[in-house]
């Protein structure tokens, strides 16, 4: 049997039954990486000696009767997470030799759960792209078409899973960085509710690993099955022991329903600020039709939906105000000059991003208040619905495009070009208010590329979209190897 494409749940059961050892699983994963990753370039920092040592330790622990959630399961970790003794660069050449002394809290949790870490996966520079390439480690290719991107910023992790390089991976998401690579590579990912999984130790070098509550950004699981997402989220969730963990524990409510027929779902396929490509539209409708077929209540419109255009503008302002905080003063002042020259009537997303980069604290508070109003709107919507199905990006994976600056690039949607960063509006639907969102495979494009959609759920009710993902996997199918 080729264990490399089995789910974490399946290989854990096989190890419990004595059908395979962690050493055998780890050796098989390493052999596959050494054979296939030259063409993909997903694993940018291999750690095979330590992985084999961890696998031997896992087998000894199991022989003693231990059974932890991830005991002996081979996994990978996004490069942006600190692992003691391995480089953390975020793709920045000036930090190519930066090696942290301590594990990120999520890496510590993986190790405590018994996982075998095969190595780290590739990212874009500063995690700020929808593709994964940098001068240190090169470009990660999409396993379905090597001329196309695997997505970003967790593109290395998504490609690794699609290729059978480990059963699980951990990534992060601020602008779809878990969901977009999952969509492009045909796997599963879950963006947790904001704050559910601590991010200490996922910090750009050489900044210290502090227990900071990040705005918008989350740590989250990636897998080849929906059930594996839940398995890994159980390990990742819970407050940081240095702060909230001193007083609080996590107790996520159960999924609202256990059968597709019981779900009330709002399906969205159109956004007022950017079109949805035909391949992605077909994926959304494939899921909608499956829900209808099973007797779920499916609606296409609701007056309860918070204004998507206003939400996208708030998202761009909040995200870019954070991203620009560390810019050199002379760059910041130039941006202020450019923002001041904008017409008051310019309501484009480009203008929202520019204004966001120089947002005053007064204006940031105003934007944050707007976010809270949207969160209240979502609470009202989720009193009537259990989940929202919508695109992750407007298109499947596109050809590598490394030309020029990010703001100068464009994305082609059915033959028409749009500003590169405008494609983030669908990711922002869940990110801006901090909602959980599960990315699932939803078929293929006419060119044979994977197409995914996201299932957005109520805040801190992560089990609801995750359970919906499991039920849809049974109905429409899930991961397929390239």
284 belongs to a structural domain: no
Strand pairing of 168-173 and 74-78?
Answer: parallel
Residue keyed to tokens 């035909």: 278
In a shared domain, residues 98 and 190: yes
What average pLDDT does range 251-268 have in this prediction?
A: 98
Residue 462 confidence (pLDDT) = 99
As a whole number of angstroms, the distance between CA 77 and CA 79 comes to: 6
* Residue 472, in any domain of the structure: no
Per 3-state DSSP, the chain is made up of helix, strand and coil in percentages (nearest 5) of 40, 15, 40
Question: Residue 52's pLDDT is what?
Answer: 98
Span 78-106, pLDDT tens digits: 999 999 999 999 999 999 999 999 999 99
Tell me whether residue 397 is in a domain: no
On the question of pLDDT at 43 being above 90, the answer is yes
Q: How high is the pLDDT of residue 16?
A: 98
> Is residue 267 in some structural domain?
no
Residue 290 has pLDDT above 90, yes or no: yes
Which of 369, 398, 417 lies at the terminal end of a domain, its last residue? 369
pLDDT of residue 326: 87
Domain boundary among 323, 352, 369: 369
Residue at a domain's end among 335, 369, 403: 369
Cα atoms found within 13 Å of the Cα of residue 65, Cβ hemisphere only: 0
Inside any domain, residue 385: no
Check whether residue 350 and residue 248 sit in a common domain: no
**Catalytic site positions:** 78, 153, 177
Task: Say what percent of the chain tops pLDDT 90.
Answer: 98
Provide the residue range defining the domain that includes 147: 8-256
Q: Assign residue 217 a region: left if phi > 0, alpha if psi is -120 to 50, beta otherwise?
A: beta
Do both 172 and 74 map to the same domain?
yes
pLDDT of res. 117: 99
The verdict on residue 285 lying in a domain is no
| Number of Cβ atoms within 10 Å of the Cβ of 369 | 11
In a domain, 70, yes or no: yes
365-393 pLDDT, tens digit per residue, is: 999 999 999 999 999 999 999 999 999 99
Mean pLDDT of the chain: 97
Claim to verify: residue 238 and residue 363 sit in the same structural domain? no
In a domain? residue 345: yes
Do residue 244 and residue 337 come from a single domain?
no
Q: What is the model's pLDDT at position 1?
A: 81
pLDDT of residue 413 exceeding 90, the answer is yes
Residues 223 and 317 in one domain: no
Helix 349-357 with 308-323: angle, nearest 10 deg: 40
If asked whether residues 105 and 187 sit together in one domain, one would say: yes
Q: What is the pLDDT of residues 418-428, one digit of tens each?
A: 999 999 999 99
| Whether 86 and 216 share a structural domain | yes
- 99 with 164, same domain: the answer is yes
Residues 236 and 336 in one domain: no
Which of 144, 146, 164 lies closest to 43, judged by CA?
164
| pTM summary value | 0.98
Count of domains in the chain?
2
Query: Model confidence over 130-164: pLDDT tens digits?
Result: 999 999 999 999 999 999 999 999 999 999 999 99
CATH number, domain of 194, equals 3.90.1300.10
């Amino acid at each position: 049997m080729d264990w490399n494409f089995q789910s974490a749940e399946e290989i854990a059961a096989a190890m419990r039954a004595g059908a395979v050892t962690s050493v055998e699983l780890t050796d098989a994963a390493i052999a596959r990486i050494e054979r296939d990753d030259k063409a993909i370039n997903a694993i940018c920092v291999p750690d095979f000696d330590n992985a084999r040592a961890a696998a031997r330790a896992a087998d000894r622990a199991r022989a003693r009767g231990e059974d932890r959630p991830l005991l002996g399961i081979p996994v990978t970790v996004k490069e942006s997470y600190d692992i003691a003794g391995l480089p953390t660069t975020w793709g920045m050449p000036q930090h190519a030799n930066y090696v942290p002394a301590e594990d990120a809290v999520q890496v510590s949790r993986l190790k405590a759960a018994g996982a075998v870490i095969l190595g780290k996966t590739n990212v874009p520079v500063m995690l700020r792209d929808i593709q994964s390439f940098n001068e240190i480690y090169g470009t990660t290719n999409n396993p379905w078409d090597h001329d196309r991107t695997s997505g970003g910023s967790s593109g290395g992790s998504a490609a690794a899973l699609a290729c059978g390089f480990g059963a699980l991976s951990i990534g992060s998401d601020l602008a779809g960085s878990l969901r977009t690579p999952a969509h492009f590579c045909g796997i599963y990912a879950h963006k947790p509710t904001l704050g559910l999984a601590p991010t200490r130790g996922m910090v750009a070098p050489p900044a210290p690993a502090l227990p900071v509550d990040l705005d918008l950004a989350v740590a989250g699981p990636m897998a080849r099955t929906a059930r594996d997402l839940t398995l890994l989220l159980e390990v990742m969730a819970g407050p940081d022991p240095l702060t909230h963990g001193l007083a609080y524990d996590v107790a996520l409510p159960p999924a609202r329903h256990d059968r597709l027929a019981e779900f009330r779902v709002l399906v969205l396929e159109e956004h007022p600020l950017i079109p949805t490509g035909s391949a992605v539209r077909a994926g959304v409708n494939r899921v909608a039709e499956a829900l209808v077929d099973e007797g779920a209540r499916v609606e296409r419109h609701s007056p309860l939906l918070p204004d998507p255009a206003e939400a996208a503008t708030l998202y761009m302002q909040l995200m870019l105000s954070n991203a620009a905080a560390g810019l050199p003063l002379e760059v910041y002042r130039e941006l202020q000059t450019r923002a001041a020259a904008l017409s008051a009537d310019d309501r484009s997303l480009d203008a929202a991003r520019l204004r966001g980069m120089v947002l005053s604290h007064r204006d940031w508070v105003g934007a944050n208040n707007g976010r809270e109003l949207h969160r209240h709107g979502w609470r009202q919507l989720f009193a009537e619905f259990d989940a929202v199905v919508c695109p992750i990006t407007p298109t499947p994976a596109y050809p590598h495009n490394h030309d020029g600056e990010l703001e100068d690039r464009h994305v082609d949607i059915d033959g028409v070009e749009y500003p590169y960063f405008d494609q983030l509006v669908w990711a922002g639907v869940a990110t801006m208010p901090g909602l959980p969102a599960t990315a699932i495979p939803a078929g293929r494009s006419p060119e044979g590329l994977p197409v995914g959609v996201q299932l957005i759920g109520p805040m801190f009710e992560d089990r609801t979209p995750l359970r919906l993902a499991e039920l849809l996997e049974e109905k429409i199918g899930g991961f397929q190897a390239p």
